[in-house]
Structure 1
Amino acid sequence: MNLKSNLIFTLYTIYGILLKVMASKGKVRGISGQYPLVQNVTVTEGGMANLTCRVEYNDNTSLQWSNPAQQTLFFGDKKALRDNRIELVRATSSELTISINDVTLGDEGLYTCSLFTMPVRTAKAYLTVLGVPEKPEINGLTKPAMEGDHITLTCITQGSKPAADLRWFRNEKEVKGAKEVNASGKTFTVRSSLQLHVDRNDDGVAYTCRVDHVALAQAPQQATEVLEVHYAPRVEIIKSTTVPQEGQYLKLECFSRGNPSPDPVMWTKDGGDLPDLDRIIVQGRELAFTSLNKTDNGTYRCEASNHLGTSSAEYVLYVYDAPTTLPPSTTPPLHPIPPDPTVQLSTHASDPTVTGSRDPNALGQHGTDHALIGGVVAVVVFVTLCLIIVLGRYLARHKGTYLTNEAKGADDAPDADTAIINAEGNHAHAEEKKEYFI
């Protein structure tokens, strides 16, 4: 403080003492209800704070602002402290407002507004200065990471007041980390750690550390790191058709995923090289058959590798006969014709979703229906034969009885019917004769 400032401060002090002395003698009287009114202020470090002191009634008594060190800043419209950051905003008999620009953490504290009545009345306003946290930094990332590694990501931010909050995000999904807070004078240093067991799913994933703080309500600070993970390849074969038939076009694509990329891939057939045919075309990862035939049957293998390992997948190709064209039918079939069975597939790749499998020699589901119909027909034929046999035996028995009766009465009868009647009558007479002789 220079000589002029010291002189002004001394004069204000003497003036205050004189007011107190005069009040003690009853020469200056305060007006009842004259109290200064102030409000607490919160400002971000580097910002501007306005301190306002008001009174409802005033008899031209002066207002004064003092800093936490009890240094007078303004007495009425007179500046007492030489600080270019402090300026007068408004000075009247009922209000004294000052501003502090480029606020620092050292400006925080209790400011006093004094109304020089007898006795002197005061009001205190607390100026809170928020420490802005620095942009966070992420440490502990190794590039590239290997699949299976355990790594620890650490996020650090300094200069916050109060202590900031750190949050982790895996892409857009929040994950929980372990936070640690340390005081550094009036500000805080905050750390947050995230434990990772790296796998291939972490390749290309963005991990973000975000700082949440009251001083960053509109624009939170954050830092982002993208993981690069190296891993062994994994292979699968994708086919262009489900049921390969003679004369058709078939494309097999060897889809391999690995980092570094496993280029190129290698195709083999039945454990050996591919046949040198114009119908088989190899282009990059694709194996194409322009026109299938039975000689193409076999096991096709695709293999890919990088410096971390090798992976392969197999496809068993079975070529079916080309479908024959049937003449158009005027009536719809009783039963729909089931589809042809698909090719039998197999895989030795680490990914089980490569291919499916079906028996190419399967007869289809309609064999069971044919057996059932045959059984029903056999039962009907057997029952019919049994009925014919029983009916034949019945007719034969009645025919014998008719012929026997006709023979017995044939001697004296002019026709067959009379012979049967005579035979029955002779039989009755015989019974009578037999009874008579007894």
Structure 2
Amino acid sequence: ARRFQWPLLLVWAAAAGTGSAQGVQTENVTVAEGGVAEITCRLHQYDGSIVVLQNPARQTLFFNGTRALKDERFQLEEFSPRRVRIKLSDARLDDEGGYFCQLYTEDTHHQIATLTVLVAPENPIVEGREQAVEGGEVELSCVVPRSRPPAVLRWYRDRKELRGVDSRQENGKVWSVASTVRFQVDRKDDGGIVTCEAQNAALPPGHSKQTQYVLDVQYSPTARIHASQAVVREGDTLVLTCAVTGNPRPGQIRWSRGNESLPERAEAVAETLTLPGLTSLDNGTYTCEAGNKHGQARAPYVLVVYDPGAVVEAQTSVPYAIVGGILALLVFLIICVLVGMVWCSVRQKGSYLTHEASGLDEQGEAREAFLNGGDGHKRKEEFFI
């Protein structure tokens, strides 16, 4: 049998013999790899003649409705005077090509239905080219080894699209597609997520294949000491915790006290330092140190142990000071009230004397008017004294 390679894009067509009006009509089919495809032959004025369906290798699949090729993936779904329909399950790239639908009468009629198999991309493979370090750049690659048509790759970081550099290579009927992206990183980017997304026509609309990459950014350590209590008195137990960050995380934390050794009672275990039964002899600056290959970090803590008696005395002296202040304020207010009362009394007495003098003047004028009552044309005036 001869092998034929047919184009992937076909249109509806019909063929008819020279001496007959009978004919056959087919249509193209597109299916995703692994999917189900239906191949249909439409018959016009079928008179019971022989109908043969063949695969792209010109092997007969069905002869007048009878199976001829032992491939269970092909099933005859319909055989009628108007239509012959077969179903192909688990479609493969090897199944792609032209399927012949032939009607044998006085003249042979045939049409070809071309089956196109698309390949959906698998989940992209994302890798980092080198170790990311704070202040440097990271380069990521995204690869889809099989797709048809070639997959379109996109990068996303914090919901923002990144511009990548794409490349593709054809391997037989499928394509290998790759994309790379570069960007600068800082310590805050450690643990961030970068996504590579792949799409092509083999996937349902709105669907894509995605792979997330978690950034691993290395940076120098930091250290900070947290105390179990703010005020420390003699006899208390103090626990200091050294909070350390860094990538890679420092493997060992060292405790020290200035130029002196740690108290014999001190217990240093990893990031914690426990100081039981404190006395004033434990005063000093305690330091925790941590490091990795990118640097060192130190954190100090100044310990001051207070005498309980001094603290109590200082606390009890506060109420007496408050009482003394209140008494002084009351005395000041009483003095102010007394001064105000004296001032008001003096002011009222002066006003009385002034009015009394004024009354005497008026009384003299009245007496004079009484004695001179008949003088001139003035009428007599009476005054009440």
- Scaled to the shorter chain, the TM-score interval is 0.5 to 0.7
Task: Specify the SS of the correspondent of 2:333.
Answer: helix
Q: Comparing both structures, which one devotes a greater share of its residues to strand? A: 2
Task: Specify the SS of the correspondent of 2:149.
Answer: coil
The equivalent of 2:339 in structure 1 is: 386
Task: Specify the SS of the correspondent of 2:339.
Answer: helix
Displacement after TM superposition at 1:217 (Å) = 5.8
Displacement after TM superposition at 1:41 (Å) = 2.4
Give yes or no for contact 1:63–1:114 (8 Å, CA) kept in 2: yes
Give yes or no for contact 2:154–2:164 (8 Å, CA) kept in 1: no
2:147 equivalent to 1:160:
yes
Q: Aligned letter for 2:168?
A: N
Task: Specify the SS of the correspondent of 1:380.
Answer: helix
Distance in 2, Cα, partners of 1:20 & 1:191:
51
Question: CA RMSD, aligned part only?
Answer: 5.0
Displacement after TM superposition at 1:251 (Å) = 0.8
2:237 equivalent to 1:249:
yes
2:81 equivalent to 1:93:
yes
Task: Specify the SS of the correspondent of 1:386.
Answer: helix
Task: Specify the SS of the correspondent of 1:242.
Answer: coil
The equivalent of 1:412 in structure 2 is: none
Q: In 2 relative to 1, CA 178–275 (structure 1 residues): closer, same or farther, beyond 3 Å?
A: closer
Q: Which residues of structure 2 form unaligned runs of 5+?
A: 4-14, 351-385
Which string of whole-angstrom CA distances, capped at 9 and with x for unpartnered residues, describes residues 383-421 of structure 1? Answer: 234257559989x99xxxxxxxxxxxxxxxxxxxxxxxx
Give 1:268's match in structure 2, choosing from 252, 256, 272: 256
The equivalent of 2:296 in structure 1 is: 310
Structure whose alpha-carbon radius of gyration is higher: 1
Give yes or no for contact 2:75–2:88 (8 Å, CA) kept in 1: no
TM (normalized to structure 2)? 0.63
Distance in 1, Cα, partners of 2:80 & 2:331:
122
Distance in 1, Cα, partners of 2:165 & 2:54:
40
Q: Aligned letter for 1:195?
A: R
Distance in 1, Cα, partners of 2:48 & 2:294:
88
Displacement after TM superposition at 1:325 (Å) = 12
Give me the identity figure in percent: 33
Displacement after TM superposition at 1:314 (Å) = 1.6
Q: In 2 relative to 1, CA 153–387 (structure 1 residues): closer, same or farther, beyond 3 Å?
A: closer
Q: Which residues of structure 1 form unaligned runs of 5+?
A: 6-16, 327-339, 341-362, 398-438
The equivalent of 2:305 in structure 1 is: 319
- Once the two structures are superposed, the pairs formed by residues 202-213 of structure 1 within 5 Å of their partners are 202-203=189-190, 209-213=196-200
Task: Specify the SS of the correspondent of 1:272.
Answer: coil
Displacement after TM superposition at 1:253 (Å) = 0.8
Give 2:134's match in structure 1, choosing from 147, 152, 172: 147
TM (normalized to structure 1)? 0.57
Distance in 2, Cα, partners of 1:128 & 1:323:
94
The equivalent of 2:370 in structure 1 is: none
Higher relative contact order (CA 8 A, sep 6+): 2
The equivalent of 1:50 in structure 2 is: 38
Give 1:131's match in structure 2, choosing from 110, 116, 119: 119
Displacement after TM superposition at 1:380 (Å) = 1.4
Q: In 2 relative to 1, CA 35–276 (structure 1 residues): closer, same or farther, beyond 3 Å?
A: same
- Once the two structures are superposed, the pairs formed by residues 60-209 of structure 1 within 5 Å of their partners are 60-65=48-53, 76-77=64-65, 89=76, 91-98=79-86, 103-105=91-93, 107-108=95-96, 111=99, 113=101, 125-133=113-121, 136-142=124-130, 144-168=131-155, 176-178=162-164, 180=166, 182=168, 184=170, 186-203=173-190, 209=196
Q: In 2 relative to 1, CA 287–101 (structure 1 residues): closer, same or farther, beyond 3 Å?
A: closer
